[in-house]
């Protein structure tokens, strides 16, 4: 699988290239934002590892433009302690984030968790509840017959919730399923993906309920 790293820290990029190559990935690096964006949009990559602070075009702008045209999974690298950066990244459609400085083993674990979402798997059948239809074969989503663009992680969350419609799925279950790690009080990855799904799918009626302190529930029947 091919990974594109867009980061102006050449020493870090070199280290990550060596590390990820040993792990069996093909890695390419860009240190300039505009060249990084062009490479990401050119296709051929399975994952984009994207730093926030990049010359030429910052990581947020790159992410916005990538999301307009592509479902390419994106792992954002943010400065440690910059919670706002992480939230903005997730709001713009990042699949996950990792604060710098980071443990390289954790980076590899997070990359592998994202990659697992891309592996072919035996799809469940097509499912439709309350006007929302999902097709695991094509990973397509429709709302009242109209196509809705969702990211890889948004689709997986939606499918998990819909196949458990009427039941509560905990944040821990979703984190384990999607990321292979337990939820922490400060990790808002799942919450932001849920927020995106609500904006894309809900109208006047609530489809995804928050069960405070527990998790989320896809509503089986609307009142």
**pLDDT tens-digit series, residues 150-205:** 888 899 899 999 999 999 999 888 888 877 777 776 677 888 889 999 999 998 88
pTM of structure: 0.73
Q: What crossing angle do the helices spanning 152-163 and 171-179 adopt, rounded to 10°? A: 130
105/18 same-domain check: yes
Q: What is the pLDDT of residue 49?
A: 96
Domain that includes residue 16, residue range:
2-116
Q: What is the pLDDT of residue 5?
A: 96
**Do 29 and 3 form a contact (C-beta atoms < 8 A)?**
no
Backbone angles phi, psi at 61, to 5 degrees: -70, -40
Q: What is the pLDDT of residue 201?
A: 94
Q: How many domains does the chain have?
A: 2
State whether residue 141 is helix, strand or coil: strand
Q: What is the pLDDT of residue 115?
A: 83
160/132 same-domain check: yes
57/150 same-domain check: no
Distance CA 10, CA 24 (A): 21
C-alpha count within 13 angstroms, C-beta hemisphere, residue 214: 9
Backbone angles phi, psi at 133, to 5 degrees: -120, 135
116, 147, 172 - which closes a domain: 116
Per-residue pLDDT of 8-61, as tens digits, reads 999 999 999 999 999 999 999 999 999 999 999 998 999 999 999 898 899 999
11/31 same-domain check: yes
Instruction: Specify if 122 maps to a domain.
Output: no
| Confidence bin at 209 (pLDDT 50/70/90) | very high
């Amino acid at each position: 699988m091919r990974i594109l790293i867009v980061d102006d820290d050449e020493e870090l990029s070199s280290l990550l290239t060596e590390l990820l190559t040993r792990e069996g990935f093909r890695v390419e690096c860009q240190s300039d934002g505009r060249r990084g964006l062009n490479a990401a949009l050119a296709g051929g990559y399975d994952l984009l590892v994207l730093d926030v602070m990049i010359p030429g075009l910052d990581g947020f702008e790159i992410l916005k433009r990538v999301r307009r045209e592509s479902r390419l999974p994106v792992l954002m690298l943010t400065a440690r302690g910059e919670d706002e950066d992480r939230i903005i990244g997730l709001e713009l459609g990042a699949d996950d984030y990792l604060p710098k400085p980071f443990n390289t083993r954790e980076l590899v674990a997070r990359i592998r968790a994202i990659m697992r979402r891309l592996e072919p798997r035996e799809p469940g059948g097509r499912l439709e509840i309350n006007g929302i239809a999902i097709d695991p074969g094509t990973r397509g989503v429709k709302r009242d017959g109209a196509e809705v663009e969702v990211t890889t992680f948004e689709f997986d969350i939606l499918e998990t919730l819909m196949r458990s419609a009427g039941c509560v799925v905990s944040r821990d279950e979703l984190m384990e399923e999607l990321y292979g790690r337990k939820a922490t009080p400060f990790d808002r990855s799942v919450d932001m993906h849920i927020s995106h799904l609500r904006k894309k799918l809900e109208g006047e009626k609530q489809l995804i309920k928050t069960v405070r302190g527990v998790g989320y529930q896809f509503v089986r029947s609307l009142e």
